[in-house]
Amino acid sequence: MFLTDNGRTRPLWYRIVAGAGLACALAACSQEPAAPEAEPDAAAKAAPAEPAEAAADQTTTMSTEELRASAAKAYQESRLYAPAGDNAMEYYLGLRDRQPGDAGVSSALTDLLPMTVIATEQSRDREDFEEARRLLALIERADKQHPALQRLGNSIDAAEEAVTQRAEQQQLTAEQEAERRQQLEEERQRQQLLQQEQAAKELAAQQEAERQAEEEQAVAEEAAAQRAAQQRAAEQRAAEERAAQAAAAAATPTAADLRAISTPAPRYPPEALRSGQGGEVLVEFTVGADGSVSSARVVRADPPRVFDREAVAAVRRWRFEPVAAPVTTRRTIAFTPGG
């Protein structure tokens, strides 16, 4: 589920973190005593830049390995953007200065930027302008073209001006302001701890979902590869079977392969010979591997039952050259008187 704010789409965890920060800010404001205070001087306004500069100086003195180890440790311990000088955001920025083309560093900064923007807004809303400007400086270091920079800077200036005007109107005392700042620091630390823990959980869940998706994709690809391999194996077996059948068919002899050695003529039936009767008989027979004839039978006779017996007897005496396998064939035997 997402939330739309000024044309930007924000995830559900934004509303969770932002809502908590706003509630705490309102609680802090409701506890502020109504007392006057003088406007902070120029030196106090310039103070927020010092922690960022000190942190930058610290990262420049660390080696690349130290920066990488510190960034990973801060990330794992949910020190994503605070405290100043010891958080993942600053360590990764230092790493990027050393290795601008590191894809892992760029990815980490991309993940951290939205949470830093939210933390900046929450610091502004609880009137912790020093922290808000520190976080804003981190965002600007990470992405000078970030679309939220101008909006955040303007809103921080406006909120700080409103607080200044309220302070002038209420004329808070120095002790009351010190107490307010102490409460603000305690609230900041508590809120930052909660926010960073929640953000770390969100990131861990996202990374786990991506890991599971990659595993599912790998399983699907492996299953597809297995199916493809099985299909190829089946096609290969079918091709081998077809080849074996073709080879067997080629090796099986046919009637055209028969070579006769001896085909004695049939005896002419005396009755048919005396009467001058002729005819023909279609005989089916099987030539064995040794060339002998077996299983002879009459398929058709014209006239019937006149020349059948002599035709079959003659065929049984025939001999052929040996063949690789038995061959069944048919021959027509003609009976012609005086032929």
**pTM score, whole prediction:** 0.46
Percent of the chain with pLDDT over 90: 67
H or E element, residue 331: strand 327-335
- Give domain limits for the chain: 2-219, 257-335
Task: Look up the CATH number of domain 257-335.
Answer: 3.30.2420.10
pLDDT exceeds 70 at position 33: no
Measure the CA–CA gap between 77 and 110, rounded to whole angstroms.
18
pLDDT at 168: 86
**Euclidean distance between CA atoms 190 and 333, whole angstroms:** 115
Residues 206-248: pLDDT tens digits?
999 999 999 999 999 999 999 999 999 999 888 888 877 766 6
Q: Is a pLDDT exceeding 50 seen at residue 302?
A: yes
Return d(Cα 155, Cα 164) in angstroms, integer: 14
In this structure, which amino acid lies at residue 50? E
pLDDT in tens, 268-301: 999 999 999 999 999 999 999 999 998 899 999 9
The residues near 230 (Cβ < 8 Å, ≥ 6 apart) are none
AA letter at 66: E
Q: Which amino acid is at 272?
A: A
CA distances from 204 to 4, 71, 190, 314 (A): 24, 16, 21, 96
CA distance 311 to 330: 12
Quote the DSSP letter at residue 267.
P
Question: Is the bond preceding residue 83 a cis peptide, omega within 30 degrees?
Answer: yes
Do 155 and 135 form a contact (C-beta atoms < 8 A)? Answer: no
19 C-beta neighbours (distance < 10 Å), count: 10
